Amino acid sequence: MAGSERTADPVPAHVAIIMDGNGRWAKKRHRPRLFGHKAGVDSVRAVVEAARESGVNHLTLYAFSTENWNRPGAEVKGLMALLKTYLQAELANMKKNNIRLGCFGQKERLPEDVRRVMDEVIGDTANCSGMRLNLALSYGSRTEIIGAVQEIAQKCASGQLDAESINDQVMSDHLYSAGQPDPDLMIRTGGEKRLSNFLLWQLSYAEIYFTETMWPDFRKEQFLEALYSFASRQRRYGRTGEQMTKAE
C-alpha cells in the first residue's frame, strides 16, 4: 500500500475534529441532508476506531453547535434521533474497547430522551480507562468561556479564589475539557477554513489540518493521513527551528 512505510510518530494525545460536509455530500447525490448525516455516523465509528488503534488518548468530535439549533426543525430532530441511536448502539462497543464518553456543551438543551441515554452511557463508561471520547453537543466556545469566567468571578467574589492567582490552568480547569490536555491536532473536513466557535481557548497551539474531503468520506485512511501530516510538522511554540532541533 502506498505510504505504508510512513510513520504516525509522534501520535497526538488529543485530536479534535469539526465533522463538516454531510449536507453537501448528500446534495451531490441528490439525497436529503439527513442521508448525509446518516453516512456521517459511519465515519464517526470508523474514526473512533482508527483513533483508538493509533494510540490517540483523547478524541473530541464537534457533532452539534449552539448555532446549529437555528437549522430547520426537521433536520435538528433527525440529528438528535441519530445521536440517540448511535449512543444506544455503541455502548457495548465502548465498554468493550474501554472508551470513556464525555459531553462538552449545554446538555440541558438536549431533548430529554437523548440526555437520558447520554447520561447513561457517560455513567456506564465512567470507569473506562482507555480513550476519552468527547462529543461536543450544543457546544459553543464563547458560551463555554463565559461560563468559566462567571464561575471564576463568583469564586473571587466569595473569597474562594484570589483574582491575582487566575492563570492558564485556572481557566482550563473551568472549561468542559477540565483535566484533559489541549488538542494537539484539529481536523476540519468539508473544505471550509474556519473554527465555527470550536474550542477557541483549547486550540491556541493546535496544529490545524483542513481537508476538502466531506465528512461521510472521511474514514480510517483519511484519518491516518492527518496523523502523518501532524507527525511531519515541527511545533516551535515561539522558538526557532534550531532551538527545537538542539532540544531533541
Position 212 contacts ligand IPE (CB under 6 A): no
Q: How far is the CB of 68 from Mg ion (least distance, A)?
A: 9
Position 19 contacts ligand IPE (CB under 6 A): yes
d(CA 132, CA 115): 19
Residue number with CB closer to ligand IPE (125 or 138): 138
d(CA 93, CA 88): 10
Residue with cell 494525545: 13
d(CA 121, CA 93): 11
Of 190, 203, 207, 209, the residue at the interface with ligand IPE (CB under 6 A) is: 190
Q: Report the chain's terminal Cα–Cα distance, integer Å.
A: 31
Cis peptide before 10 (omega within 30 of 0): yes
Residue number with CB closer to Mg ion (67 or 113): 67
21-80: contacts with ligand IPE (CB under 6 A)? 21-24, 62-65, 67-68, 79
Phi, psi for residue 192 in degrees, rounded to 5:
-75, 150
Residue number with CB closer to ligand IPE (60 or 65): 65
d(CA 223, CA 185): 11
Q: Which does 79 bind (CB under 5 to 8 A by kind): Mg ion, ligand IPE, none?
A: ligand IPE
Query: Is-catalytic flag, 217?
Result: no
Query: Is-catalytic flag, 113?
Result: no
Q: Which does 65 bind (CB under 5 to 8 A by kind): ligand IPE, Mg ion, none?
A: ligand IPE
Of 143, 196, 220, 224, the residue at the interface with ligand IPE (CB under 6 A) is: 196
DSSP string over 198-245: --TTTTTT-EEEE-SS-GGG--HHHHHHHHHHHHT----TTS-HHHHH
Query: Residue numbers of the site for Mg ion (CB under 5 A)?
Result: 20
Would you tell me which residues interact with ligand IPE (CB under 6 A)?
18-24, 62-65, 67-68, 79, 190, 192, 194, 196, 215
- Active-site residues, by number, are 20, 68
